[in-house]
């Protein structure tokens, strides 16, 4: 048996959090001392590992309680699903690394890698999860990413960012020009071929995202020069309005 303090020191989970998990019925202790202090056995520690995996995958506490309290809860099956989700997070991280390397390789100034710290990665992953969820496009993206080596991914991102560099060369002109519109079509076709089926509706959404700020817009501006993200957004809007 381990005390709540010992479990906290072993796992890095605060005593306050462990107490809260007990209060909401998520992680009850195995026993208590005569003085009323919580005690945890190996079964409780295994349950805590499961909880921490769910938390790592950004499951809300209320959902974890529901899942683990269900009579149908299968620990082995849950672990398999968690592994699959962790693989997806790993692929996303590898994608971001390749993305940053691609920007660096095409001759622009180096990316500030502080933008890719843990908090930013979590924010990026959450936005992707909220935007794509369980859509066919998200599944298609993951399938195509699995089939590529890191070297192929790096080369692909270099080519992808090269399209923004080309659009950046036109940013002082009209986003409705034939040249700009041709590059938007090229961008759409590239996304469809290598990432996911980029319909006009999805393309329009991407255009709005590029203008919305954040790391993606910043990296586009790094590649094509300040104002490129806004120009690309306007060119995409013009392209989609013609359909």
pLDDT, tens only, 5-37? 999 999 899 999 999 999 988 899 999 988 888
Q: Which residues, in sequence order, are bridge partners of residue 39?
A: 3, 31
177-178-179-182 Cα dihedral, nearest 10 degrees: 120
Same structural domain, 137 and 236: yes
Residue with tokens 């992808």, as numbered in its chain: 160
Confidence of residue 142 (pLDDT cuts 50, 70, 90): low
Kindly list the strands in the beta sheet with 31-32, ordered across the sheet, starting from the edge strand earlier in the chain.
2-3, 38-40, 31-32
CATH number at residue 65: 1.10.1660.10
Dihedral sign for Cα atoms in the order 181, 107, 155, 195: negative
Among 14, 48, 73, the domain-final residue is: 73
* pLDDT higher at 210 or 213: 210
Domain that holds residue 12: 2-73
The domain total for the chain is 2
Tokens of 199: 């319909």
Asked whether residue 187 falls in the same domain as residue 101, the answer is: yes
50 and 87 belong to one structural domain: no
Q: How far apart are CA 130 and CA 121, in angstroms?
A: 14
| Over residues 187-216, mean pLDDT | 83
Q: Label residue 240 by pLDDT band (50, 70, 90).
A: very high
Residues above pLDDT 90, as percent of the chain: 31
Confidence (pLDDT) at 84: 78
End-to-end CA distance of the chain, in Å? 67
pLDDT of residue 107: 40
In whole angstroms, what is the distance from residue 37 CA to residue 224 CA? 61
Q: Is the pLDDT of residue 151 over 50?
A: yes
Q: Residue 135: pLDDT band by 50, 70, 90 thresholds?
A: low
Domain co-membership, 83 together with 54 = no
Same domain as 98, residue 81: yes
CA-to-CA dists, residue 29 to 42, 62, 66, 109, 133, angstroms: 11, 19, 18, 54, 35
Indicate if 19 and 100 belong to the same structural domain: no
Containing H/E element for 81?
helix 75-105
Residue 196 has pLDDT above 70, yes or no: yes
Any idea what the Cα angle at residue 144 is, between residues 141 and 145, rounded to 5°? Answer: 85
Angle between helices 75-105 and 42-56 (to 10 degrees): 40
Q: 83 with 200, same domain?
A: yes
Mark whether 100 and 69 lie in a shared domain: no
Q: Which residue has the tokens 């060369």?
A: 169
Same domain, residue pair 139 and 214 = yes
**Angle (CA) 31 37 39, round 5°:** 35
Question: What is the predicted pLDDT for the residue at 76?
Answer: 79
Least confident of 36-40, 140-144, 154-158, 239-243: 140-144
| Dihedral pair phi/psi, residue 31, rounded to 5° | -165, 180
**Each residue of 82-132: pLDDT tens digit?**
787 777 777 767 666 665 655 554 444 444 444 344 454 355 445 544 554
Of 73, 107, 136, which residue sits at a domain end? Answer: 73
Say if residue 97 is in the same domain as residue 66: no
Whether residues 84 and 42 fall in one domain: no
pLDDT at residue 95, as a whole number:
64
- Residue ending a domain, among 18, 50, 73, is 73
61, 12: one domain: yes
Long-range pairs of 95-98 with CB within 8 A, sequence gap ≥ 24: 95/145, 95/153, 95/157, 96/121, 96/124, 98/150, 98/153, 98/154, 98/156, 98/157
Q: Looking up tokens 């809860």, which residue turns up?
A: 73
The pLDDT tens digits of the residues spanning 45-87 come to: 988 988 888 888 778 888 888 888 887 778 778 778 778 777 7
């Amino acid at each position: 048996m381990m005390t709540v303090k010992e479990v906290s020191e072993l796992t890095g989970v605060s005593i306050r959090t462990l107490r809260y998990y007990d209060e909401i019925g998520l992680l009850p202790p195995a026993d208590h001392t005569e003085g009323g202090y919580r005690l945890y056995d190996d079964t409780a520690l295994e349950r805590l590992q499961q909880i921490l995996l769910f938390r790592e995958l950004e499951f809300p506490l209320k959902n974890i309680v529901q899942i683990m309290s269900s009579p149908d809860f299968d620990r082995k099956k849950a672990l398999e699903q968690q592994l699959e989700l962790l693989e997806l997070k790993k692929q996303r991280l590898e994608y971001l690394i390749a993305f940053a390397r691609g920007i660096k390789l095409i001759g622009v100034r180096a990316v500030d890698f502080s933008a890719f710290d843990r908090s930013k990665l979590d924010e990026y992953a959450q936005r992707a999860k909220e935007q794509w969820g369980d859509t066919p496009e998200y599944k298609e993206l993951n399938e195509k990413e699995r089939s590529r080596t890191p070297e192929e991914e790096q080369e692909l991102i270099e080519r992808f960012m090269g399209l923004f560099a080309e659009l950046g060369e036109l940013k002082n002109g009209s986003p409705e020009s034939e040249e700009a519109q041709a590059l938007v079509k090229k961008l759409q076709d590239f996304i469809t071929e290598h990432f996911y089926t980029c319909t006009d509706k999805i393309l329009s959404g991407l255009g709005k995202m590029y203008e919305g700020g954040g790391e993606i817009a910043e990296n586009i501006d790094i590649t094509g020069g300040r104002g490129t993200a806004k120009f690309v957004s306007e060119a995409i809007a013009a392209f989609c309005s013609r359909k």
